[in-house]
Amino acid sequence: MSVTFRRPTRQRAAVEALLMNIGDFMSAQDLHARLRAQGQGVGLATVYRTLQAMADDGGVDMLRTSDGEAVYRRCSTGHHHHLVCRSCGRTVEVEGPAVESWTDKISSENGFSDVHHTLEIFGLCASCTPTDPAAPAADADPVEAPAKD
């Protein structure tokens, strides 16, 4: 009901291609840097515009990191959410009929209409989870100042 027509351009193709290859969430700035490093110079403004357009047309997911930066990622299709490793960045797409129906129920119970939601789960993936007491992952600081700071 929207998906405005977009002219195929070299820069649009470059962005899509890179996004396809990477597979993980990337910020517009990241994308821009990689493209130029890769010789595929694309204006920063264009990267932003392209990414937003793709997100609008679907085909790309956008979410915000804890510090508010927007990051994009190619996505399969349909509505889903993510499980993101805060250590290595690995991402898993997950679906949950239970959650979807819950949000619908909650919304209508409270008289809200035309709703949409955001849901992301952040944690440590299997590889990044410290299994043995000698492999801390994210932020470790075992042997250090015993006094209170």
Partner DNA sequence: ATCATCTTGACAATGATTCTCATTAAGATC
Partner DNA sequence: GATCTTAATGAGAATCATTGTCAAGATGAT
Q: Which residues bind a second copy (CB under 8 A)?
A: 64, 68-70, 83, 85, 92, 94, 96, 98-99, 102-103, 106-107, 110-126, 129
Using CA atoms of 14, 69, 126, 18 in order, give the dihedral in degrees to the nearest 10. 0
Rounded Cα–Cα distance for residues 44 and 31 (Å): 9
Q: Smallest distance from the beta carbon of 79 to DNA, in angstroms?
A: 22
**Angle 44-57/28-37 helices, nearest 10 degrees?**
120
The interface with DNA within residues 50-69 (CB under 7 A) comprises 50, 52, 67-69
* Residue 21, binding choice from Zn ion, DNA, a second copy, none, Cβ under 5 to 8 Å by partner class: none
* Residues whose CB falls within 8 Å of the CB of residue 32, separated by 6 or more in sequence, listed in order: 42, 44, 47
Kindly write out the interface string for residues 7-46 of this chain, putting x where it contacts Zn ion by CB under 5 A and - elsewhere: ----------------------------------------
- Yes or no: say if 43 and 35 are a contact pair by the CB < 8 Å rule: no
- Yes or no: say if 16 and 27 are a contact pair by the CB < 8 Å rule: no
Please identify, among the stretches 24-32, 57-65, 86-94, 107-115, the one whose residues bind Zn ion according to the rule CB under 5 A: 86-94
Rounded Cα–Cα distance for residues 133 and 83 (Å): 25
The interface with DNA within residues 7-46 (CB under 7 A) comprises 7-12, 27-29, 41-46
Is 5 a residue that touches DNA (CB under 7 A)?
yes
Q: Which residues are near DNA by CB under 7 A?
A: 4-12, 27-29, 41-46, 48-50, 52, 67-70
